Amino acid sequence: MRNDKTDRNDTFEFLGHKGAAADIIREFDWSTTPLGRVETWPQSLRTATALLLHSPVPIVMLWGEDGVMIYNDAYSVFAGHRHPALFGSKVREGWSEISDFNDNVMNTCLAGETLAYRDQELTLHRNGYPEQVWMDLDYSPVPGEDGRPAGVVAIVVETTERVLAQRRIMEESQRLQNLFSQAPTFMAMVSGADHRFELVNPEYRKLIGGRDVIGLPIAVALPEVAEQGYAALLDQVFKTGEPLKRMSDRVLLKRNEYGALEERFADFVYQPIRDNNGKVTNIFIQGSDVTERVRAENHQKLLINELNHRVKNTLASIQSIVSQTLRGVQTKEEASDAINSRILALSRAHNVLTEQNWDGSDLRMMVDSSMEAFRYPGRQAISIDGPRLRVGPHAALSIALALHELATNAVKYGALSNSTGTVTVEWTVSSENRFTLKWTERGGPKVRQTDRKGFGSRLILRVLPKELQGTAEMDFGEDGLGFKLETSMEAVVDSSASVGL
């Protein structure tokens, strides 16, 4: 007689495999399941069990209507902490959290059909907590003794790590794409020896006037850029593999529909990109449109030069004021007062011009500034009238100094020396484009002409008309002093002449 151990070995001889799963099958009490004792298993179930045990990939078999589970060692790793309790359990109960999914599998495959899923997302409780996983799943029916489906075999390959890795790559790629798109600098990628555009960001598209250049070589996409030597620079980088950097480079671009070339300035770098063999395959273009910065720097240089010019002119004016004043005074005190007042008048005129960036001044503003020091609170002794007119800095300074001398004289000897006199400053522009400035005093002491010609007289009768290429005359009338300057509008608005006395 054969003993029980020998009988048991004979019973499971069909497994033909040694391993943890095979040992569990040998020790498991299958009589407690719908499959019954192993001795009663049909040959189809035995054969299918032996086949899955030999497979290195995770396989689980779901036998019968209940889907009783038999699986191999690889599947036991996938099952986690649910192994070995899943052995002999009904699949809808063993994986209760996805019972609906498995119910569809059983119904479909027992009807003779197959199912396949790629990167199927499921939430499983393999280790005592809900876990999101992804799997490639292939389900096929297993025929029974009568040829009809008696069970389902499932090949289960977990792809969670690959899916998450792909997602990380996609997220990183999207992040880089967002950085590329939202970068404040212009960026582009060209490939091949003909420098064909693969990528451009919005700032680069803005730089080139919104042109669609993707897929085009630079010679076709931006012919004006290629003709200016930038294609040759790309050739150099592609050939040598050495990056190239340029600062404040001038480039002419067609940025509108009319095709007119527009001057721009850019800081940029051409960075070669190599493949695994060290060969240059692409060039990354990155830079900034610094046109406004370059123009500001050029404007600053121009302003510095202009400032130097104006400082020299101002110093020359002050030197002339001091020299001319000293010729006509008798005492140091008189000289000091006269020089101070005239330099202050020049300073006020400078302030007005500085506020206007030295490109000219509103004439009324300049006249108001010149007469401000001679107004009396509560008395309207000075009236100003004339059309709105912008004059050049040269004319503005000359007129301001002349008005200061006239007002100073009026305070000392004329209409502003008493409580009843008035002064009118007015200007007109004729249809022949002639400019006339008049100074009229009324109500002051009787005017008396003298032979003595001081700095003020020389300024308004000789220097002023000479500077403004016009004529000047003074009238010592019964009602008060009058002065008239006539010149061309061209001389008045000219901003290029230098100021001198």
pLDDT in tens, 370-419: 787 777 777 788 999 999 998 888 788 788 878 888 888 888 888 888 88
- Which residues on neighbouring strands pair with residue 140, listed in sequence order? 153
Q: Which parts of 222-356 are beta strand (E)? A: 244-254, 261-274, 280-289
Domain membership of residue 416 (yes or no) is yes
Q: So what's the pLDDT on residue 321? A: 46
Residues 329-343 pLDDT 10s: 556 666 566 556 555
Q: So what's the pLDDT on residue 329? A: 52
Task: For residues 269 and 299, state if they share a domain.
Answer: no
CATH of the domain at 33: 3.30.450.20
Task: For residues 10 and 74, state if they share a domain.
Answer: yes
Pick the last residue of a domain from 262, 289, 316: 289
Task: For residues 157 and 197, state if they share a domain.
Answer: no
CA–CA dist 124, 119 (Å, integer): 14
Q: Helix, strand or coil for residue 465?
A: helix
Residues 169-226 pLDDT 10s: 888 878 877 777 788 899 999 999 999 999 999 999 999 999 999 999 999 999 999 9
Domain membership of residue 178 (yes or no) is no
**CB distance 423 to 439 below 8 Å:** yes
**How much of the chain, in percent, has pLDDT values that exceed 70?**
83
**Lowest-pLDDT choice from 116-120, 132-136, 180-184, 474-478:** 180-184
Q: Show the tokens assigned to 259.
A: 């095709």
Q: What is the mean pLDDT of the chain?
A: 84
**CB distance 224 to 216 below 8 Å:** no
Largest CA distance in the chain: 163
Task: For residues 339 and 485, state if they share a domain.
Answer: yes
Q: So what's the pLDDT on residue 151? A: 96
For the chain, helix (H) and strand (E) counts, in that order, are: 18, 17
Task: For residues 278 and 300, state if they share a domain.
Answer: no
CA–CA dist 116, 155 (Å, integer): 10
Q: Helix, strand or coil for residue 459?
A: helix
Task: For residues 20 and 151, state if they share a domain.
Answer: yes
Domain membership of residue 168 (yes or no) is no
Task: For residues 282 and 308, state if they share a domain.
Answer: no
Task: For residues 110 and 257, state if they share a domain.
Answer: no
Pick the last residue of a domain from 289, 318, 337: 289
CA–CA dist 183, 201 (Å, integer): 8
Give the sign of the dihedral formed by CA 349, CA 351, CA 354, CA 355: negative
Number of structural domains (the chain) is 3
- Which residues on neighbouring strands pair with residue 485, listed in sequence order? 437, 472
pLDDT band at 245 (very low <50, low <70, confident <90, very high): very high
Residues 215-234 pLDDT 10s: 999 999 999 999 999 999 99
Task: For residues 125 and 201, state if they share a domain.
Answer: no
Domain membership of residue 498 (yes or no) is no
Domain membership of residue 177 (yes or no) is no
Task: For residues 128 and 255, state if they share a domain.
Answer: no
Domain that includes residue 367, residue range: 295-493
**CB distance 432 to 469 below 8 Å:** no
CA–CA dist 449, 437 (Å, integer): 21
pLDDT band at 2 (very low <50, low <70, confident <90, very high): very low
Task: For residues 334 and 405, state if they share a domain.
Answer: yes
Q: Show the tokens assigned to 376.
A: 């009396």
**How much of the chain, in percent, has pLDDT values that exceed 90?**
56
Looking at per-residue pLDDT, the higher value among 477 and 280 belongs to 280
Task: For residues 317 and 404, state if they share a domain.
Answer: yes
Burial 221-256 (b: 16+ CB within 10 A, else e): bbeebbebebbebbeebbeeeeeeeeeebebebbbe
Pick the last residue of a domain from 248, 265, 289: 289
